[in-house]
Structure 1
Amino acid sequence: MALPFGVLAQDVAAPKEVKKEKKVLSGIQAELLRGPYLQMASPTSITLRWRTNVYDRSRVRYGESPEKLQYETIDSTLVSEHIVKLKNLKPMTKYYYTIGNHTDTTLQGDNENYFYTFPQTGSEQLIRIAGFGDCGNNSANQRNVRDQVIKYLGNNYLNAWILMGDNAYSDGTDAEFQAKFFNIYKDNLLKKYPLYPVPGNHDYHDFDSSTATDENKMAYYQNFSVPTQAEAGGVPSNTESYYSYDIGNVHFLALDSYGPDNKGQHIYDEMGEQAEWVKKDLKANSNKQWTVAYFHHPPYTKGSHDSDTESLLVKIRENFIKILEENGVDLVLCGHSHVYERSKLIKGYFGKEADYDAKKYEISSSTALYDGSKNSMPYLKSSSDKKGTVYVVSGSAGALGGNKATYPHDAMYYSNNKVGGAVMLEVQGNKLDLKWIASDGAIYDHFTMMKDVKKSDLEILKADKILGKSSSK
C-alpha cells in the first residue's frame, strides 16, 4: 500500500507563459534535456531533478524492484525544471525509478536508474564518497578521471559525490553547465549517486557577486537543490550558499569560500554569517564520530595557485581554518589549485610556507599510508581532544597542471601536478581512508586515520610488522 508521499515542485514560469505552454503541449511531446539527477539525499528522502524542452507535469514512479514500481509521486504543475521530492523511504534501501509526466509517458527509467537512501545517521557501516574538484572543462582529463572513478567502484555503490567548486568553466553559465557538467556525467554518476556541491569562483562568473548578493540569479544556484533547512542533518543554514548534512557517522560541511553573505561579508570574516553558522553547526554536531569540511579555495597550495600571495587564500588560512581546527574537523577538502596535495595530520599552522615547522605543527610524522612501508602507522585521533586535521587539495578532476616556484609546498607530504584525479573517501566505524584515484587508474596517494584506538589495539598495531615503525605522538 502506498504511503502518503510528499512532493516538492518548482514552477519557474509566469502565469502567461504557463498558459502559452499549455497550447504547445497539445502538439509537442516533452523531451528530456537534462537529468535525471539526485539531490538532497537522506535516510528517508531524496529529491529528483530533470529538465524538459517544454512545460510539462512531473511524475516519479519507484519501488524496490525494477519490475514493480508500486509507488509514485505526481505534481501537476506545468514546469520545465522538474523538482520532485520522495519521502517516507526506508534507510539504506535500493530503489529503482522512472521519470515522466502524469500520463503513461516515461522520459527515462530502466535497470540503471536507481539510488540508495543514506544509512541511518550514526550508523558505522561502510560509506563511500567521491570528491571532484575543478571538474567542468569538457576535457579528456575530465572524462578519464570520471571513467577511473567508475572503474574503481566496480559493483560497489557510491553513497554520494561532492563537488569542490569550479564546476563549469569558464563562466558558470547554464549552457556551460549543460555541456561541461551534465552531459559528461549524465549516463553514469548523476542518475545513480546523490550529489552535494559547493561553488567556486568560476561558478560566480555568471553573476557579478561584487555588486549584489542575489544568488538565485546564478546558474549554479538554479541548477542544484541543497538542504538549507537541515533536511539531511546538521543545523539549518537558511541559504543555498552553505549547508551541512550527515552520511552514516560522518558530518559534512559544504561551504562557500568565494561569495558574500547578505551583509557583504565572506567566509574569512570571523563575525560573518557563514563563520558564525559554522561555529554553531560544529558545536551542535560535536558528537559525530567524523567531521569533513569542503570548499573551493585551499589554505595551503603551491600548484596553479599560491597560498602565500593570493589574498583570498591568505585570509582563509589566517582567519577561518582555526575555527575548523578548534571544533574538531578531521579532514578539509578543497579544489581551485589544479593539482593534488596532501598534508600530514597538523594543528595550529596558519602562516606562510616559510613558517612551516614539522616538529611544531605535525601531530604525527607518520605517512599514514598503512601499507607496510616504513613509518606508515595510521593517524590516530581521540574523540575527547580531537586534535589534528589533514588538508587535501584535489583540483584536477578536469582542469590540470601548474606549479609555483617553491612547489611542492613544505606542509604537503605528497603532491602531484602531472596527472588529474579525484578523491575517494571510505569510512567504516572508527576508520577513515582517503585515496586519490588518478586519470590513469593509479592510486598515487592514500592515507588512513583512526579514532579512539584502545591501548590493547595500539599494541597489536605496533607489533604488527606490516605497519613499520610508528612515529605517532
Structure 2
Amino acid sequence: MTEDGLSKSGDSRSLGAKRTNESSSYARGFLLLQIFICSLLMTSSAFAEDVISSCSGAETAVSRLFLQQVSAHSAMIKWRGDTPIVCFGTQPGKLDRSVRSEFIDGHHQVTLAGLEADTYYYYSIGGATSSGPGQHFRTAPESGQLPDDGNIHIWLLGDSGTATEVQGGHNVHAGKAIDVMNGYLKYNDQQAAGEPLDLILLLGDNAYLEGTDEQWQGAYFDIYAELIKTTATWPTIGNHEMGGGALDICIFRKLPQCEKGPLISHFGGISRSANPDSYDSNGDGPDPGGLPYLNIFSLPSKAEQGGVASGTEQYYSFDYGNVHTVSLDSQLSNRDPVQRSAMRDWLIDDLSSNKQDWTLVIFHHPPYSKGQNHDSDVEQNEIDMRETFAPVFEDHGVDVVYSGHAHSYERSWYLNGHYGPSDTFTPGTHAELDGQGNPSMGQGTDVYRQISSATAADDKAVYTVAGSAGKADQENPCTPGRTMGCSLPDWLGHPAHRTFPAGQTGYHSHGLSLKGSVVIDVNRTSLTSRFVSESGQVLDHFIIKREP
C-alpha cells in the first residue's frame, strides 16, 4: 500500500461528510490496523530478515559472494563484507526491493522469498538501485517442470580443490583447476550455445588439503567467483573437507628414517572420525570453530527444497524442476554403522516419496573404482557405499550416481546387482547388453532406457567417477612392496566400467587419466552426461531415454 493511499484513507474530506469524534477515532484505529497488516506482509516476504523500505545506497565491494538453495520461489545469497543490505528486482537498473541480512557463521545471509518461478532476478550488495556486475540468477521452474529453454544444465566438479595443495612449500598443481574451468567454458561457448548453468554440484575434496576456511577461499571462492554468484552451489563432503589425521609417510615414500620404523606425521584428508566436531586442521586437536564445510554452506536439512527432511546438513536432497538430487555423506555418516543405517533409512524414505522424472545422487567415495590410491575392492568407505546403498539406488529408480576421490575418470556400464568386488563382475548378469551381447555404451543406437529393455523395470544406474577437476594421476608403476602413491597393475581396470580404446595419451582399459569435469543436460525425455576435458573436448558421453 502506498503512502498516498494511506493518507487518503484517513482524510475525512475525501468522504464528503463531517465526522463525529467517534467516527474519527474509528478511522484512525482502522488506519493503524491497515499499517500494521502491511508491515506484517512486508516482513513475511523475506522470511526472518528485516525488509528495508527502499534502495538508496551504493554497490559495496564484498568477498565470497555466492548463491545457495535457489528454488522456484526463493533464493539465498551469502557473502562476507561490511554491508548487510541486498537490493533486488527483475530489472537490472531498477532494483526495488531490499532486505537486511543475518550474520551467521561468519557470513552475511539473506533469503529472498516471494519470487516468481523461472524468472531472472538481479541484485546489488549495499543498497544500489542497479545490480553489480554479473549479479543475477534465474529461479528454478515449478516442481516437475522444465525452464523456458527446455533444458536443465548442470556442472559437476570432483576433487577440484588443488589450488591450495602445498607440498614442500610449493603449490604443485597451480592453475590446473582453472584450466578445467576454462575447458568447460570453452565447451559451453562452442558446443552448448553459451547456455547458463542451473546447478553446480561439488563431489567433495574441493578444498585441499584440510578443507580450512582459508583453503575454501583459495580453491573455490576465488577461482569460480563469476559462476557461483549466478548459480547455486550444492556440495557433498569429501575426505579433504574433514581436516587430517596421523599417517605413516613411509607408505608413500621410503625415507632413510623409515629404516627405524614408522614416521608419523599429520596429513590432510585421512581423518577416520565419524564426528564433524572432531575436525582437526593441524594435528593439535579439534578446532574450536568446528568443520568449516558446515559453517560455509547452508543446506536444506528440513526439506526446504523438496524431498524428505534429513535432520542434518551432512546429507540432504532437493528438487530442481523435474530433477531430484540427493547428496549423501560417504565421509562421516558412512563410517559409523548406526549413522550409516540412519542415512540408508532416510534415503529409502526420500526416494520412495520422489515423483520427479530424473534422480541424481552425489557423494565422494565411489562404489566402483580402480583409481590410484583408491581401490573400491580395498577401501572400506567405498565398500560400504556399494554394499549398503547401491541396492537402494537400483530398487528406487536412481538414474545416475557421481563420485570423486580417485583423480581420474571412470564411467560404468548400465548396472544392476553388482555389489561384490571387481572380480565378481559378470557382464551378462550385471550390465545392460547391446544387440551383439556386449555391455552397451549408452551411445548412438544403443542409448540406455530408464525402463530397461532387458527387465522392463527402472532398476539400473550409471556410476561415474569424476575426480580430475583439479589434477589427474599419471601412470607410476609401484615398486615391489609399495601400494600407495603409485599405480598398481590393475589401475583404471575395473571391469564394471566402460572400455576405452588404447593408443591415446591418458587412455586406459577402463578409464582416463585426464583432467576434466562433467556436464549433465536434462529435459523431459533424456538425460545426457558428458566428460569435458581441460581443452573443451567431449571425451565420453552416455544418454538415458525415458518415455514422456
Q: TM-score range by the shorter chain?
A: 0.7 to 0.9
Q: Which runs of 5+ in 2 are unaligned?
A: 3-40, 51-57, 164-173, 246-270, 280-288, 434-438, 475-486, 500-509
Residue among 74, 94, 112 paired with 1:86: 112
Q: CA distance change for structure 1 residues 77 and 336 in 2, over 3 Å: closer, same or farther?
A: closer
Residue 319 of structure 1, CA deviation:
2.3
Distance 1:143 1:315 in 2: 33
- 1:314 equivalent among 363, 380, 383: 383
Structure-2 change in CA distance of 1:148 and 1:310 (3 Å): same
Are positions 1:392 and 2:464 aligned together?
Answer: yes
CA 211–149 in structure 1, closer or farther in 2 if over 3 Å, else same:
closer
Aligned pair in 2 of structure 1 residues 264, 410: CA closer, same or farther (>3 Å)? closer
Alpha-carbon deviation of 1:153? 2.6
Structure 1 residues 64 and 105: CA distance shift in structure 2, 3 A: closer
Give per-residue Cα distances to partners, 1:83-103, cap 9 Å, x unaligned: 110001111111111112xxx
Is 1:176–2:231 an aligned residue pair? no
Give the alignment partner of residue 535 of structure 2, picking from 424, 440, 448: 440
Tell me how far 1:9 sits from its aligned partner. 6.2
> Superposition pairs for residues 367-406 of structure 1, below 5 Å?
367-370=441-444, 376-382=445-451, 385-402=457-474, 403-406=487-490
Q: Does 2:64 match 1:38?
A: no
Write out aligned runs for 1:59-138 (5 A).
59-75=85-101, 80-100=106-126, 104=127, 109-124=131-146, 125-138=150-163
Aligned to 1:412: 497
Q: Which amino acid aligns with 1:62?
A: F
Question: Given the alignment, which residue of 63, 66, 80 partners 1:51?
Answer: 80
Kept in 1: contact 2:59–2:132 (CA 8 A): no
Question: For 1:234 and 1:428, how far apart are their aligned partners in 2?
Answer: 20
RMSD across aligned positions (CA): 2.7
Q: Secondary structure at the match of 1:391?
A: strand
Q: Do the aligned residues in 2 keep the contact of 1:57 with 1:76 (CA within 8 Å)?
A: no
Identity of aligned residues (%): 33
Secondary structure of the corresponding residue to residue 394 of structure 2: helix
Greater fraction of residues in helix: 2
2:290 to 194, 213, 217: 217
Residue in 1 that maps onto 2:366:
298
**Gap change, CA 1:195 and 1:75, over 3 Å in 2:** closer
Equivalent residue for 1:18? none
Q: Deviations over 1:182-205 (max 9, x none)?
A: 11111x211111110011011011
| Aligned counterpart, 1:22 | none
Relative to structure 1, the CA distance from residue 232 to residue 322 in structure 2 (aligned partners, 3 Å threshold; closer, same or farther) is same
Is residue 241 of structure 2 the alignment partner of residue 203 of structure 1? yes
CA displacement, residues 305-344 of structure 1 (integer Å, 9 cap, x when unaligned): 1111112212221222111111111110000011111111
- Runs (4+) of structure 1 exceeding 6 A deviation are 76-79, 206-209
Equivalent residue, structure 1, for 2:342 = 273
Q: What is the CA–CA distance in structure 2 between the aligned matches of 1:88 and 1:235, rounded to whole Å?
A: 22
Cα distance change, pair 281–76 in 1 and its aligned pair in 2 (3 A): closer
* Equivalent residue, structure 2, for 1:260: 333
Counterpart-to-counterpart distance in 2, 1:175 and 1:381: 43
Q: Is the 8 A contact 2:67 2:231 kept in 1?
A: yes
Partner of 1:345: 414
Alpha-carbon distance in structure 2 between the residues aligned to 1:252 and 1:66: 31
Give the CA deviation at 1:31.
7.4
- How do residues 212-251 of structure 1 correspond to structure 2 at under 5 angstroms? 212-214=275-277, 217-251=290-324
Are the aligned partners of 2:105 and 2:295 in contact in 1 as well (CA < 8 Å)?
Answer: no
- Do the aligned residues in 1 keep the contact of 2:274 with 2:336 (CA within 8 Å)? no
Q: Assess if the C-alpha contact under 8 Å between 2:362 and 2:402 holds in 1.
A: yes
1:192 aligns with 2:218: no
- In the superposition, the TM-score normalised over structure 2's length comes to 0.71
Measure, in 2, the Cα distance between the counterparts of 1:83 and 1:99: 11
- Displacement of 1:68 in angstroms is 1.0
Task: Count residues in correspondence.
Answer: 417
Query: SS in structure 1 opposite 2:470?
Result: coil
Return closer, same or farther for 1:105/1:116 CA change in 2, 3 Å cut-off.
closer
Structure 1 position 145, deviation (Å) = 0.9
Asked whether the 8 Å contact 1:7–1:74 carries over to 2, the reply is: no
